[in-house]
Amino acid sequence: MFATRLVCKGCGADYPLDARFACDQCFGPLEAAYDEDAIARSVTREQIQAGPSTLWRYAAFLPVEPPARSLPVGNSPLIKADRLAEALGLRCKLYIKTETSNPTHSFKDRVVSIAAAKAVELGFEALGCASTGNLAGATAAAGAALGLPTYIFVPDDLEREKILAAAAYGATVFEVNGTYDDVNRLCSELAYDRPWAFVNVNLRPYYAEGSKTVAHETVEQLGWRVPDRVVAPIASGSLYTKILRGFRESRATGLAGEGPEQPVMHGAQGAGCAPVATAFASGGNDVFPVRPTGIAKSLAIGNPADGVFAVGVARDTGGSIEAVDDDEIVEGIRLLARTTGIFTETAGGVTTAVLRRIAERGEIGADETVVTYITGDGLKTIDAVEPTIETVPIEADPDEVEAFIDARVTA
């Protein structure tokens, strides 16, 4: 393992690789630091390609040893989206990196995989999480696979599909009267008193590292190339910032040999909870908390822990952070589905809608390679598109089918 310590992203203070909430000095977020020179000397493309067909093929870039057992997470498809590009008037190489193939159908399986492995290593007796939905299922599934008791805390207005899925794995699910930020605060208090590994609280530095594996995977799938432009959703800001870190690591260690030094990074939020987009638009760095509304509940974090760092990523790479309303989100879901065959949850509708805006502004060059990240399955938020779906009731009669088709053709 090449991880050497935890480092505060705020003040730079160093800590050992143990369970920590945040920096003791400035309460800033912590992240793992690595000996990148040693990785460059020791890890080759061939070595990675010979590794497991999971995110653990990038173990050199992770702060925990590969576990003896875990769910098969990662190796999600990168799909060329020519019909979507055509619909948007783009001539670039457009790809969709869809995380719906993971065990619980979202990218959260990546972050939980790393946090759960660290929980076992550190001897915790149970797993837990504060969740806006996808993390609930991912944590519950990991706990079931490891045989650990699992405690899930969610806002009580969460989509029922996500609550039921988490409970199906045998986890205890607490529906909390409040927002995600209330849930997160409760979990922070419990983590001080109980020997539980809250994957996104006291194990957050390790949990966050799982996100960057999606970037390493993208580089490999593009033929060891960094894309020119990326569009990704923002909730806490961790995924968005870690994607960039993954690309930078691939470059720094010599694995990525083609493409730019770093991509232009575009972030996407729903207008009902857009504190990071608001901060970016203001020209400042302060991210002010909001009370979430809107249909994009998996992105509904009103006080995002990595919001200020996400703003920095957008500015440093020449990108943007934008917010789209509920109607745009639903149209984004349907546009992606009918042009690619990928049915995404509301977070993916947010991302697709922002991609559409960027395309309409004419910012994407014909020679660019663009990757859009779809983080969850549409079956988890089916109620978002239900009002826009129409079916055709008929009798079991071929003539009725013919009459309908003829009427459509002549309309």
9-55: per-residue pLDDT in tens? 999 999 999 999 899 999 989 999 999 999 999 999 999 999 999 99
Residue 79 confidence class, pLDDT cut points 50, 70, 90: very high
Task: Identify the pLDDT of residue 238.
Answer: 95
Residue % of the chain over a pLDDT of 70: 100
Are 303 and 278 contacting, i.e. CB atoms less than 8 angstroms apart?
no
Residue % of the chain over a pLDDT of 90: 92
43-56: per-residue pLDDT in tens? 999 999 999 999 99
Given a cut of 90, is residue 409 above it in pLDDT?
A: no
Domains of the chain: 76-411 (3.40.50.1100)
Are 333 and 378 contacting, i.e. CB atoms less than 8 angstroms apart?
yes
Alpha carbon distances (Å) from 169 to 136, 154, 155, 172? 10, 16, 19, 9
Contacts 24+ apart (CB under 8 A), 23-30: 29/204, 29/205, 29/208, 29/305, 29/306, 29/309, 30/6, 30/204, 30/205
Task: Identify the pLDDT of residue 121.
Answer: 96
Q: What's the CA gap between 169 and 72, in Å, rounded? A: 16
- Mean pLDDT, the chain, as a whole number? 95
125-183: per-residue pLDDT in tens? 999 999 988 999 999 999 999 999 999 999 998 888 888 989 999 999 999 999 989 99
Angle between helices 238-252 and 307-317 (to 10 degrees): 50
Mean pLDDT of 366-385: 96
